Structure 1
Amino acid sequence: MSISEEEEEEQKRSLFIKELVQSTPAHFDSVSNENDKIPKRIIQFWDNLEQLPTDVYDCIKTWDQLETLGYERLLFDSKKAGEFIKEKLGSKFKNAYDQCYHPAMQSDYFRLCYIFIEGGCYVDADDVYNGADINHLFKDNRLKVQPLCYDVSSHSMISPSIFTKPGAYSDNWIFYFNNNPLIARSKDPIIEQALTSATLLLQAIEANKIDILPEIQSTAGPGNLSKSVIDILKKTNKMEQFILVLNNWENIAESQWPLSYRNDARNWRLSNCQNFKHLK
């Protein structure tokens, strides 16, 4: 596929997501479905818990208050995540996980594996919970995802208060779905599609079928998830039964900036497509 064809496909995906995002009502009712509810479980990941930065620990602790409301809290490191994948999905998926060359890629792939098998809510370790009610996010079995919009001309993110308004658009904007949070029941079809696609890409690394390390976001992260959402939704006319777009996730949690790890190789943006050397 030529560069122009790749750009055209990206634009089509962006426009599809734009229409989906801007057609989502500001207030929503849960779909009545008592089967396969999403378990009240918060899952997080940090690759080396023995070297967990204090500021990241402070972010993680903000979610502890949900335990008093009946939520289970789970924190995985790289080793425990790999053990989970091997036990629940087998060697094929564990080998794919082992090809993840950066902790951010490990967390991207692990969350797909975990949510597909067990269901729940995966949240990044640098998200700070503000105490808002989240019970409504677990009352039906739809996948819940947060939309994002990036302005390539200014190299900056667009505020949801702007890009979610019907008709808001610029040729410089790229609409996509974040993989944080990732809220779904087990065996969700969109998560299954994202996991399958990511596994195939990681298997290509293992088989030495690619010359350079793949881009982190497009392999198992937001790029992969966005494409998977579109692949599944284009097959159905009942989008509202599969997905709920969270246009106001920032009212529940916010990614903390700055944090100490963002200034070194642990920040995936500084290590994208590069062999990662962990800090000693």
Structure 2
Amino acid sequence: MRIDHLRGKQKFSALDRYLQRLSEKGFDVAGVPFRLVDDLLSAEVETVDFQALLPIARHTVGGQPRLLTALLGDLSDGSYDRLKRIVSDADAHSMTRFEAMGWAAYSGHRAEFPATENSVMDVFQFWDHSMPPKEILDAKQLWVSRAEEHVWYDDQSARDFIREGFGDAAAKAYSELWHPALKSDVFRLYRLAKCGGLYCDADSKPEYRIPEFLRCGGERVWASSMTNVPNCVVNNWFVAARPCHPFIEAMLEQVLRNIRDIDSRGIFWLSGPGSFTTFLYQNIGKYDVGLLPQSCLKSELFRQFDADYKHTEQNWRVYEHKLGLDNDSGLTWALRNV
């Protein structure tokens, strides 16, 4: 409560001193600075003096003080130049460079809640089996109750959609994908490219501003970034777009290329947030994409829950951990052209 009070009043010098006292008492405060940035990015205030936050960068660890300092400078002047210098620094840790890539992508596409009057076509979701568990079905009903039109796909109906819209070869390639998470990642892009709409992961629940978003968010691509942590990846668990949007079409082509040239990378890098982050960074400003901060997404639009399947190999993280896959190949791939 004390931290929230000082953040709300933008008393950042006092906040720095308070974090120092907590640290001296043995409390781990390393995660606090990025959470504060996320809160400020999501707050409905006219101006934030991000430069005044600079002293709290010292409470982070590893390469994060440099990362946070660059981020605050870029947020202050509406650029991503300082972050790009970290991405290009071959002497920096590879994870710090990728973290800077994610923050640069966010800074280049930072957006506020949509305010146009173009409605989203529909909400659609995917679950590979025809009979999802009860907790997934319960969440589905919440989405149905909030959307004027809701479409549910399983593995068979997703394959049929791809065949009808993109041909037999595309449907066959989809069928050969080796994990439900990969199929879901690929299918949502096919569906968005053809019909648009709002894709939401099945293990999520709508928050109170979803009806408003569905009325207003139908013109550009909308997604979100993990602005509450150093690793600010662009997420693909909540993506809205109009039909035939060039970003979605280009992202689909990139994901299909990634899968053809797998190079020992995991799903995160082939079709998930790693691929979205890398592609958007390489194309900052080229496409009309709006990225919402994490706090806005979680408190106003979309909240994931800890579904039981996440503790089984249906979760790509569990599946790949058992295979011994790590981030090394993915990081190398993400940084090779910068």
- TM-score bracket relative to the smaller structure: 0.7 to 0.9
Structure with more relative contact order (C-alpha pairs < 8 Å, separation 6 or more): 1
Secondary structure at the residue paired with 1:115? helix
Structure 1: which 5+ runs fail to align?
Answer: 150-157, 164-172, 276-280
Secondary structure at the residue paired with 1:233? coil
> Which residue of 164, 167, 171 maps to 1:94?
171
Q: Which protein has the larger Cα radius of gyration, Structure 1 or Structure 2? A: 2
> Which residue in the other structure is 2:77 paired with?
none
Per-residue Cα deviation, 1:222-255 (whole angstroms, up to 9, x for no partner): 12222232333344xxx6xx12222211122210
Give 2:297's aligned amino acid.
W
Matched, 1:232 2:283: yes
Count of residues in correspondence between the two structures: 230
Report deviation, 1:116: 0.5
Asked if the contact 1:99/1:202 (under 8 Å) is kept, the reply is no
Separation in 1, partners of 2:144, 2:267: 29
In structure 2, relative to structure 1, the CA distance for the partners of 1:274 and 1:84 (3 Å cut) is: farther
Matched, 1:16 2:104: yes
Matched, 1:105 2:182: yes
> Which residue of 224, 229, 243 maps to 1:146?
224
Q: Say which structure is richer in strand.
A: 1
In structure 2, relative to structure 1, the CA distance for the partners of 1:220 and 1:61 (3 Å cut) is: same
Asked if the contact 1:38/1:186 (under 8 Å) is kept, the reply is no
> Which residue in the other structure is 1:122 paired with?
199
Per-residue Cα deviation, 1:33-74 (whole angstroms, up to 9, x for no partner): xxxx55430100000023x1111111111112124xxx2111
Report deviation, 1:144: 0.6
Asked if the contact 2:198/2:239 (under 8 Å) is kept, the reply is yes
Secondary structure at the residue paired with 1:30? coil
> Which residue in the other structure is 2:253 paired with?
196
Q: Say which structure is richer in helix.
A: 2
Give 1:117's aligned amino acid.
K
TM-score when scaled to structure 1? 0.72
Separation in 1, partners of 2:122, 2:130: 20
Structure 2: which 5+ runs fail to align?
Answer: 1-89, 324-338
> Which residue of 122, 125, 145 maps to 1:41?
122
Asked if the contact 1:145/1:244 (under 8 Å) is kept, the reply is yes
Per-residue Cα deviation, 1:183-236 (whole angstroms, up to 9, x for no partner): 00111121112100111122346xxxx5x4x3111111112222232333344x
Asked if the contact 1:109/1:221 (under 8 Å) is kept, the reply is no
Asked if the contact 2:236/2:273 (under 8 Å) is kept, the reply is yes
CA RMSD of aligned residues (A): 2.8
Q: More deviation in 176-185 or 38-47? A: 38-47
> Which residue in the other structure is 1:215 paired with?
266
Separation in 1, partners of 2:320, 2:162: 24
Asked if the contact 1:216/1:273 (under 8 Å) is kept, the reply is no
Separation in 2, partners of 1:138, 1:89: 29
Asked if the contact 2:193/2:248 (under 8 Å) is kept, the reply is yes
Separation in 2, partners of 1:138, 1:233: 27
> Which residue of 270, 274, 277 maps to 2:318?
270
TM-score when scaled to structure 2? 0.61
> Which residue of 212, 225, 237 maps to 1:135?
212
Asked if the contact 2:99/2:233 (under 8 Å) is kept, the reply is no
Asked if the contact 2:120/2:214 (under 8 Å) is kept, the reply is no
In structure 2, relative to structure 1, the CA distance for the partners of 1:58 and 1:203 (3 Å cut) is: same
Give 1:190's aligned amino acid.
F
